[in-house]
């Protein structure tokens, strides 16, 4: 179903993409796919001073990891390229000239220092300096010069910027798919720079020109852009272009306190704010990533999708396809959402327990090899994982729940010893060992049966016996059913652990 729904995700490559950005990309993606439209990646690298090597690659890798795919972009190509604004540089001057010709923009020769000075002055007076209809009359710009003066400046190479001329005394009405209609008076706006003295356009110009040229139908971006919407609307009107529809997404807020979620919050509160680990090429500082911390991309995407949007049903778990099916901008909320790291873990747990034992075992095998340099068989891993996966939120947590399947106890939890190891324990355990030797089919069922009937026949306490036995086999008060544990580690190892344990505990007394 071909149509002309086209959305873009337009990050600037100034560092790693944080999860707020991932969510913006996700909503764009969901919206596009739901509508059968196109998803475009455009790199907004008009600020050469903020370029960070590797950031562009990071952005693409992150989004790919999340399962967000582009139809057009710097890697995919497409009919509307190039998709990097630095490579479209030659386009922009003509558009800025066009605005000057039509009287919607003008040259300004004020230096950054002069303007800084004016801002400071205004600030001292508890006011804000605005480059607007009032002040523009007194500043060094082409509005206050005759053609010859302007020409002279340009020929002499006086540095200049091009500013948009905000119309006087008008109201700008805008429409937002999430917030409805809004109105702003033009007096409150300032004459933004469209074209910088370094020959590059600012975001405002490049963004509008490229959205137009790329035939973007819907601009879905973060709420931090809302204050520049009037300017953008004015720009479309000045060019005489049809506007796209706008949707400004609510922000992701800090889990505690207030404010926009930032990189610092992750460091401070101990959770990742970036999809992938990132090493800053300048400072060498490393920021942790969801991928490296053991999160599944599905879990992260699921969590992000529900932060600010809801399906209107009680469904919590969504595959990407289900999200695409269920998504609509109408169900995106207006207010900011505090980020909850705990819920992300819960989502990860949900995805982990839904893996088949074989899948999870395969992941764990890799983990064991990498972090413990251990090799166990796939069968063993599958069996172990099936017994303990309910207890873990991450693959790396499996070890804490299952190490005793692989390693015999070297020490015994003192609290448990005190509580469970009694005077008659050694004898009882030895008897149990001889019993275990005689179990024919060494699997959980028969093992349990044999032990239980012995306990019943001798009128012993189930809790007392089993917990003492657990102490010998595991070394602590943890783990799944003992029958299962013995089945996995096998008869020989079980016996060895029981008899070693008796020996160790008795020699300590």
Partner RNA sequence: GCUCCCAUCGUCUAGCCAGGUCAGGACGCCAGGUUUUCAUCCUGGUAACAGGGGUUCAAAUCCCCUUGGGAGUACCA
Footprint (CB under 7 A) of RNA, residues 61-120? 110-112, 115, 119
Report the residue number, 221 or 375, with the smaller CB distance to RNA: 221
46 binds RNA (CB under 7 A): yes
Segment interacting with RNA (CB under 7 A) among 10-18, 23-31, 283-291, 429-437: 10-18
Place of tokens 């000239």: 97
CB of 468 closer than 8 Å to CB of 429: yes
Question: Least Å distance between CB 201 and RNA?
Answer: 7
Using CB under 7 A as the binding rule, whether residue 53 contacts RNA is answered as no
Which one, of 44, 47, 40, lies nearest residue 75 by Cα? 40
Query: Taking the complex as a whole, how short is the minimal distance between the CB of residue 375 and RNA, in angstroms?
Result: 26
CB of 2 to RNA, least distance (A): 29
Closer CB to RNA, residue 478 or residue 503? 478
**Residue of 2, 157, 180, 270 that binds RNA (CB under 7 A):** 180
Q: Which is nearer to RNA, 291 or 389 (CB)?
A: 389
Contact status: 47 vs RNA (CB under 7 A)? yes
Site for RNA in 451-470 (CB under 7 A): 462-463, 466-467, 470
333 near RNA (CB under 7 A): yes
307 binds RNA (CB under 7 A): yes
Q: Rounded to whole angstroms, how far apart are CA atoms 421 and 412?
A: 11
**Selected range binding RNA among 23-31, 46-54, 274-282, 491-499, rule: CB under 7 A:** 46-54
- The span of 58-66, 74-82, 124-132, 147-155 binding RNA (CB under 7 A) equals 124-132
For the bound state, the minimum distance from the C-beta of residue 286 to RNA, rounded and expressed in Å, comes to 23
Decide: is 197 part of the binding site for RNA (CB under 7 A).
yes
**C-alpha 407: how far from its chain's center?**
36
Query: Does residue 450 touch RNA according to CB under 7 A?
Result: no
Comparing CB distances to RNA, the nearer of 212 and 260 is: 260
Tokens of 432: 């149990």
Strand (E) or helix (H) holding 482: helix 482-489
* Residue 308 found at the interface with RNA (CB under 7 A): yes
Q: Minimum Å distance from CB 244 to RNA?
A: 17
**52 or 324: CB nearest RNA:** 52
Residue 365 near RNA by CB under 7 A: no
Q: Give the number of residues in contact with RNA, rule: CB under 7 A.
A: 82
| Options 98-106, 221-229, 318-326, 371-379: segment touching RNA (CB under 7 A) | 221-229
Instruction: Output 311 or 426, the one with its CB closest to RNA.
Output: 311
Contact between 481 and RNA (CB under 7 A)? Answer: yes
Which of 36, 50, 117, 508 binds RNA (CB under 7 A)? It is 50
Closest C-alpha to 97, from 229, 209, 254: 209
> Residue 42: exposed, middle, or buried by beta-carbon count in 10 A (0-12, 13-18, 19+)?
buried
Q: Is 263 a catalytic residue?
A: yes
- Residue 390 binds to RNA (criterion: CB under 7 A): yes
Q: How far apart are CA 93 and CA 96, in angstroms?
A: 5
With contacts defined by CB under 7 A, name the span among 24-32, 98-106, 341-349, 354-362 that binds RNA. 341-349
Q: CA torsion sign, 377 to 378 to 384 to 385?
A: positive
Out of 153, 212, 243, 260, which residue is the one contacting RNA (CB under 7 A)?
260
How remote is the C-alpha of 287 from its chain's centroid?
13
Q: How far is 356 from 113, CA to CA, in rounded Å? A: 64
CA distances from 290 to 251, 363, 488 (A): 20, 16, 33
List the interface residues with RNA, window 399-438 (CB under 7 A): none
Long-range contacts of 89-97 (CB under 8 A, 24+ apart): 89/199, 89/200, 89/201, 91/209, 91/213, 92/195, 92/200, 92/201, 92/205, 92/206, 92/209, 93/195, 93/199, 95/205, 95/209, 95/239, 96/162, 96/194, 96/195, 96/201, 96/205
Which neighbouring-strand residues pair with 6? 38
Distance between CA 454 and CA 456 in Å, rounded? 5
How far the first Cα of the chain sits from its last, in Å, is: 79
Query: Least distance in Å: CB of 84 to RNA?
Result: 12
CA distances from 203 to 5, 12, 47, 213, 235 (A): 23, 10, 9, 15, 12
Q: Which is nearer to RNA, 373 or 393 (CB)?
A: 393
Annotated catalytic residue, options 243, 263, 452, 496: 263
Is 500 a binding residue for RNA by CB under 7 A? The answer is no
State the pairing for strand pair 171-176/180-185: antiparallel
> What secondary structure, in 3-state letters, does 244-289 show?
CEEEEECCEECCCCCCECCHHHHHHHCCCCECCCEECCCCCCEECE
| Minimum distance from residue 57 beta carbon to RNA (Å) | 17
Our finding on whether 396 is near RNA (CB under 7 A) is no
Q: Is 312 in the site for RNA (CB under 7 A)?
A: yes
Residue 494 interacts with RNA (CB under 7 A): yes or no: no
Q: Does 226 bind RNA (CB under 7 A)?
A: yes
Q: Are 20 and 52 in contact (CB under 8 A)?
A: no
């Amino acid at each position: 179903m071909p149509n002309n729904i086209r959305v873009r995700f337009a990050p600037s490559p100034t560092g790693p993409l944080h999860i707020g950005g991932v969510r913006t990309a996700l909503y764009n993606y969901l919206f596009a796919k739901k509508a059968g439209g196109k998803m475009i990646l455009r790199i907004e690298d008009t600020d050469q001073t903020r370029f960070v090597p590797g950031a562009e690659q990071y952005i693409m890798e992150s989004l790919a990891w999340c399962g967000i795919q582009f139809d057009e972009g710097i890697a995919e190509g497409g009919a509307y390229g190039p998709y990097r604004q630095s490579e479209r540089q030659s386009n922009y001057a003509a558009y800025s000239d066009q605005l000057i010709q039509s009287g919607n923009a003008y040259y300004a020769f004020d230096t950054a220092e002069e303007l800084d000075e004016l801002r400071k002055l205004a600030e001292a007076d508890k006011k804000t300096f605005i480059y607007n209809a009032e002040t523009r009359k007194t500043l060094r710009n082409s509005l206050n010069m005759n053609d010859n003066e302007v020409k002279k400046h340009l020929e002499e190479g006086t540095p200049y910027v091009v500013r948009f001329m905000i119309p006087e005394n008008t109201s700008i009405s805008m429409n937002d798919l999430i917030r409805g209609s809004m109105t702003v008076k033009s007096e409150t706006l300032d004459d933004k720079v469209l074209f910088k003295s370094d020959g590059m356009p600012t975001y405002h110009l490049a963004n509008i020109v490229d959205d137009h040229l790329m035939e973007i139908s819907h601009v879905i971006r973060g709420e931090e852009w809302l204050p520049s919407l009037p300017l953008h609307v004015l720009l479309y009107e000045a060019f005489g272009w049809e506007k796209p529809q706008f949707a400004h997404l609510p922000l992701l807020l800090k889990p505690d306190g207030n404010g926009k979620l930032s990189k610092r919050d992750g460091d401070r509160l101990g959770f990742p704010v970036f999809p992938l680990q990132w090493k800053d090429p300048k400072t060498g500082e490393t920021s942790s990533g969801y991928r490296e911390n053991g999160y599944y991309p599905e879990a992260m995407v699921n969590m992000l999708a529900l932060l600010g949007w809801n399906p209107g049903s009680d469904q919590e778990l969504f595959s990407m396809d289900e999200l695409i099916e269920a998504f609509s901008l109408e169900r995106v909320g207006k207010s900011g959402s505090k980020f909850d790291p705990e819920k992300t873990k819960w989502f990860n747990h949900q995805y982990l327990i839904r893996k088949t034992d074989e899948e999870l075992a395969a992941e764990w095998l890799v983990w064991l090899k990498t972090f413990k340099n251990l090799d166990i068989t796939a069968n063993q891993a599958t069996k172990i994982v099936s017994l303990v996966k309910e207890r873990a939120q991450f693959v790396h947590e499996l070890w804490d729940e299952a190490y005793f399947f692989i390693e015999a106890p070297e020490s015994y939890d003192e609290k448990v010893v005190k509580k469970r190891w009694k005077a008659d324990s050694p004898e009882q355990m030895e008897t149990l060992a001889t019993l275990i030797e005689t179990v024919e089919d060494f699997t959980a069922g028969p093992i349990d049966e044999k032990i239980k009937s012995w306990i019943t026949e001798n009128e012993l306490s189930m809790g007392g016996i089993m917990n003492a036995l657990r102490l010998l086999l595991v070394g602590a008060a943890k783990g799944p059913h003992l029958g299962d544990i013995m089945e996995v580690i096998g008869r020989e190892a079980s016996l060895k652990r029981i008899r070693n344990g008796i020996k160790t505990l008795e020699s300590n007394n």
